[in-house]
Structure formats: C-alpha cells, structure tokens
Amino acid sequence: MKPARFRYARPGTLAEAIALLAEAPGEAKILAGGQSLVPMLNMRLVRPAVLVDITRVRDLTGIAPAGDGGLRVGALTRHAELVVSPLVRERAPLLAEAARHVGHTAIRNQGTLGGSLAHADPAAELPAALLALDARLHASGPRGDRAVHAGEFFRGLLTTALESDEILSAVEIPAPPAGWSFTEIARRPGDFALAGVVVVLGSPLTPPSPPRGESLRVVGFGVGDRPLRLRSAERLLAGVTINADAAARAGAAVGSDCDPPSDVHGSADYRRHLATVLTERAVLQAAARLAGAP
Amino acid sequence: MSVIPPSERLAVRLTVNGRPVEHAVEARRSLADFLREDLALTGTHVGCEHGVCGACTVMVDGRSARACLLFAAQLDGRDVITIEGLTPADGLSPLQECFRACHAMQCGFCTPGMIVTATELLAQDPAPSTEAIREAISGNLCMCTGYVNIVRAIAQAAARAGARA
C-alpha cells in the first residue's frame, strides 16, 4: 500500500501552483490536506505523474468578512478551523456545524475545505452545506479567476466544474438565512453519512413571522451522485406556514428527488426513508431557529 | 520553484519529539514509514495505510494527524510528536498509567494511536463526558474490541488530573 512514484513540487504562491499545473497538463494532482487523495494514492487508484503540494500557498488561506454580512473562506482552511472560527460561527453557523460532522478529529485537523469540495464525494457534508448556502466557488487558472455557483459546480460522482488546469482558491458565502438545520445519519461519528439533509429558510434581513417557506433550500446528501436540491419539498413549502403537517408532507415528497445507492451500509429504500425523516426534522428545526430558538 | 523528480531525494528538516532531525527522503515516503524505517521510532503503528484505523496517529504542530496520510517531504519545518515523545524516559505518563490500571490494552496494536488521540482530547476538554470520549476515539479502531476499558482509562485519567488540579 505505497503510492507509485511521483514528481513533487511545493509552490509558495498561487501563480506558481497554476504554472506547475500548466507544465504537466492532465498529469498533475493537487495535494492539500491529503485526507481523500492520499488514500487513493496509497491504493494506487490514482497515479499522477506530479503532485503539486499547495499547503504552503499563503494566497489560499484565511477567513474574511465579505460584503453584506457574507464570508470569504480560503480553500486551504482546515475543517477544524471552520468548526471553531468565531467569524464562521457568526456568519455561516451552518458551515461550522457541517464541518463538525466531517471525519474524526485527526481528519478535521488536516483536511481542507477546498479539498472536500474538489473531491466531491456525494455523501460529503461540506458540498451539501455550500449548495444550501448558495455559495460561489472560485476557480483560479491560466485564464484568470472565475466564480461558479455551488449548484453548477458539482457535476456528478467525484466530478466538478473544475478544469484540470484550475485550482479551487476560495469560497464566497452570502449572509446566512436566519433559519437553518444540518442533519445526518451515520453508523458511527465520523463515518460518511448514510443520508443527510440540510435546510435553510428565511432571508437574513427580514425573518417572516410566523415561519414561512421563503428563501428556502432543501438539500440532500448521500442520496444521489452529488448533493441534490430536494425540489419537491421546496415546492411544497414555498410560501406556506411551516408547522408539523407541512414538514411531514415535505418529507414524504422527497423520495422522488433522490436516487440513492444501495450498498452494504444500507439499501436505496432505507436511504430514501432516512431522507424523508431527516427532511421533516430539518425543516422543523430550521423553522424553530427562524422563530428565534438557538 | 523546482519539480523534484521521483528518483531524487528531498532534504527535510523537522523536529521529532523535541529533537531536530535532518534526512533525505523519497517524495512518496509516508510520515509513518519515515518515523518507523528512517528514525526507528516503531511505536507509531501502521495498520490500514489509508487513514481509517488510526493506529498511526501522531501530533503535527500540536494537532493529531494520520501519519499514513502525510508525506515526510511535506513536514519540512514542522514539529512532530510520537508515542515515544509522550512517554516519560522513566516509567509511564499518567494517561498511560490509567491504561495499565484499567486493562485498556489487549494486543496493544491500537494503543499508541489511542494514547495520542486521548492526549489531544484531554488537552482540549479536561473533563470529557463518556459520550465525548467515545466520539473522540471513534476514528481509532481496536480490533480486539476492548473499547469499554479504553473509555474507562481515559475517564480515569481525566478524573485523576481533575483531582490534582
């Protein structure tokens, strides 16, 4: 279980990293926290000719406020930092909560936000959180910087909108909605979720009272080949006063939005059932938060 | 910035258990193999080699890390602590004493990773609940399934440290 030989480069700036990728078109892999890539290297599922180690690229670090109550997070930000950062907890508490569910402490200490997004595991927490938050992901490459909405970034199983000569450099998150919930079911803490549901509800400025389905997003993960908007639930809740009945109807509707895998951990039907239960719970928790619960 | 070809070795300088170390390594040398093979620090165990079992857990710059998921070449300038660095020259640390008192090891393969993980937990949360202890060690597999006594040992270490404080 040793990786095949590779050439190794450790750039100090984003420009150098992009130049290194351009020198080895299609043959290079970016190494950040390594928590997803290195297992694949060790098992020789991937055998890149070049590893570009971006962990010393300072342009990719930092968490900073962005306009209108939003946040800009550098791609190299470790999960552990997302969990404790006061700025993230204030401006994107959903992201902090999602990061708490990623792997185990030793994984969260090393793994990076950009790495999780670029890897695009369909059962991963952070892609789902950023889709629910309508984040924009910045890709930097030889043609400059472009921003991609989370909804267009995740293209399928381990597949994203990133070109092979681009690096995910930062994420911009708009001001958080007042109502939110992050739920998942995993067999043990730290395992990938069997299924999970994220709900955001209400605009950041004018929370409706009583809680109604406005500025609503319902996102499932582990229930398809990428994080999925559960649009049947979104449609049923749009503009409606949210109570236990509405949440139950929304949960019952999500089965048709999901296309979950069957494996040794659970059947597709079981995962659909989890999506139903979790949607109901998450909608109610988001509504309670919108109404002022902690 | 140069690209190091696969055949060439890279010079790394780092601190291991408080001691400066300088070595030439192949780029694909994992930190776990570097510690065991190059530095003869065999307390760090290698189990699954893909980040699942936790046996190779060490501290890097004060935070726990899987030594099988890092390359030694990445650790230039970093500070690494292994189970050898957590063990007093003479005898056992208080946490290790509790592992012994509670019979928290059977074959012992997972123990170094468990001790490193528990050390980090107790540094961050000196009085963890049983649930917090279980969650903290959820990334460390004990194939003997001796978890009950491991949880008991960590709780005992916390209680003893609390009584001393």
CA distance A27 to chain B (A): 13
Helices (H), chain B: 31-33, 83-86, 94-101, 111-124, 130-136, 147-164
Burial grade of B68 (CB within 10 A; 0-12, 13-18, 19 or more) = buried
pLDDT digits (tens, 9 = 90+) for A103-115: 999 999 999 999 9
pLDDT digits (tens, 9 = 90+) for B2-19: 787 877 899 999 999 999
Match 């928790």 to its residue by tokens: A285
**Structure tokens, A283:** 């909608």
The residue-averaged pLDDT of B63-74 equals 98
**Record: contact A106-B54, CB cut-off 8 A:** yes
**Record: contact A11-B1, CB cut-off 8 A:** yes
Side by side, which strands form the sheet with A217-221? A179-185, A195-201, A217-221, A228-229
CA distance A50 to chain B (A): 8
| Phi, psi dihedrals of residue A187, rounded to the nearest 5° | -70, -35
Residues in B touching A55 (Cβ below 8 Å): 74
Identify which of B90, B5, B2, B109 has the alpha carbon closest to the alpha carbon of residue B48: B109
The more confidently predicted of residues A164 and A1 is A164
- Where residue A176 falls among pLDDT bands split at 50, 70, 90? confident
CA distance B20 to chain A (A): 21
The residue-averaged pLDDT of A152-174 equals 97
Pairwise CA distance, residues A173 & A130, whole Å:
8
ipTM: 0.95
pLDDT digits (tens, 9 = 90+) for B76-121: 999 999 999 999 999 999 999 999 999 999 999 999 999 999 999 9
Residue B138: which of A20, A80, A190 has the nearest Cβ?
Answer: A190
